[in-house]
Amino acid sequence: MAETAAIEARVSAVEPNPASSSMAPTVRGGRVATLVPMRITVFRRLMADEFGATRAEMLAKDHVLSGLDGRTVEEALEAGVPAKDVWRQVCVEFEVPAERR
């Protein structure tokens, strides 16, 4: 019991597990925290804030992202790719500064 509590106390973040679409804990030291999946409405707001509403909509429909297996944003979301993963790929592709990611 004490050993489990010690491990839980060191878990501070949850990150995507590359082997699946589930979230897996990452031990980094600190307190226990959870990472909530990004809602598509939040994703759309981030896109509009970064690129402007019209350009964000066009990018989502037309721009193919290599990090999304050659799919557009819309295709990736429809295929079930988590919005947070799509946002990360958009940030990489368009070199969005870290403070706005």
Determine the average pLDDT of the residues in 72-78: 97
Q: 22 and 57 share a domain?
A: no
44 and 8 together in one domain: no
Residue-level pLDDT at 34: 53
Averaged confidence pLDDT in the chain:
77
Q: At what angle do helices 40-51 and 83-93 cross, to 10 degrees?
A: 20
Same domain, 48 and 24: no
Which comes out higher in pLDDT, residue 58 or 8? Answer: 58
Length, in residues, of the chain? 101
Site of tokens 């993963």: 85
- In 3D, which of 45, 43, 54 has the Cα closest to residue 89? 43
Calculate mean pLDDT across residues 34-47: 87
DSSP label at residue 80: T
Q: What integer pLDDT is reported at residue 19 of this predicted model?
A: 44
- On whether both 11 and 48 belong to a single domain, the answer is no
* Angle, CA of 11, 14 and 15, to the nearest 5°: 135
What is the domain range of residue 62?
40-100
pTM above 0.75, yes or no: no
